[in-house]
A and B are shown apart, each in its own frame.
Chain A
Amino acid sequence: MQETRHILVPVDGSENSDKAVVQAVDLAKACAAVIDLLYVSYFDSGTDDAVENISWLPDSVTGSTGKTSKAILEHAKTLVPETIERHLHIETGIPAKKILDFAKRNEADMIVIGGRGLGIVEGFLLGSVSQQIIEQAACPVLVVK
């Protein structure tokens, strides 16, 4: 069986996704693997306002997509020591689908993802991303809580 060379870590800025990055770093050190950090946003940065508008809606809704994606990836990057080869990627679309596509295209040997800690039923109803990844990914999936 093949060795672990490419580890894909989808990040969303949550606490569990930070934990997933840390876990992936451990594995990457042991296996001398490369880490791909991936952030998937629903909207393209092309939809961002040219000027920052103040809104009563939360920043997660109206905040600029480009800035958010970059900030989340940069934060994840700080958790990976420079001795490990790491790449940052931004994709636009439905997270689970984009993550699975990316894994396939880049021949990821493993996906390390933060779990939200929801039950199967809640997870299913809420459309848990990690649940879909586990079910559909061809490679091993490590779920970190």
Chain B
Amino acid sequence: MGHKRILVPMDGSENSMQAAEWAINLAQACEAELEFLYVVNLKGELLRPTVLDRHTSILEDAIDLGKRLLDTALDLVPISIKARGHCVSGDADETILKEVQALSCDMIVMGSRGIGAIHAAILGSVSGYILEHAKCPVVMIKAEQKEK
């Protein structure tokens, strides 16, 4: 029954940290395994001309940041649960879909930015793309909102 392996894409946002915590809870309940994923995407960074001459160190920085993020998430996981961290480079949306398959995950838990459909269509929201294209169930987590 239930889910054997849950993919948790992380991007360092508050939403993705909450998604990680939520996924850990679910993994405990379902006795599932966790795969945390950080996608390094330097496209945006490299478009800035000033950084071109030192892009190798930027790549290293990005990988470093990703690994630290993954460690933060892995530190929250109780010993009883199997969990791994993956730092992969590429386009966030395509890489996430690829890794779901590669790691044979049967569920994705991720943070959503909670932006409207029009914004998402224009800005190309990663969560929107995943929702649309993933073959498995997707859980969208938003950081707890303050009461208005």
Contacts and interface: CB of A to CB of B under 8 A. Distances in A.
A1 B22 contact: yes
A127 to B, nearest CB: 9
B60 interface: no
Contacts of B65: none
Contact of B116 (A117, A121, A135): A135
Interface in B7-33: 18, 21-22, 25-26, 29-30
Interface string A118-137: 11110110000001001101
Chain A contact-residue range equals: 20 to 34
Interface of chain B, helix or strand or loop or mixed? mixed
Contacts, number: 77
Contacts of A131: 117
A105 B118 CA distance: 28
A31 B31 CA distance: 11
B56 interface: no
A118 B2 CA distance: 26
A69 B145 CA distance: 33
B138 A138 contact: no
Interface string A1-36: 101100000000000000000010011011100000
B139 to A, nearest CB: 5
A144 interface: yes
B114 interface: yes
A69 B116 CA distance: 30
A138 B144 contact: yes
With most chain B CB atoms within 10 A of its CB, the pick from A23, A26, A120 is A120
Contacts of B134: 145
B137 A120 contact: no
Contacts of A80: none
B83 interface: no
14 contacts: A1-B18, A3-B25, A23-B137, A30-B29, A30-B30, A110-B139, A137-B142, A138-B145, A140-B109, A141-B139, A142-B137, A143-B131, A143-B139, A143-B140
Given A120-B128, A135-B117, A145-B134, 6 more contacts: A1-B18, A3-B25, A26-B30, A29-B2, A140-B22, A140-B140
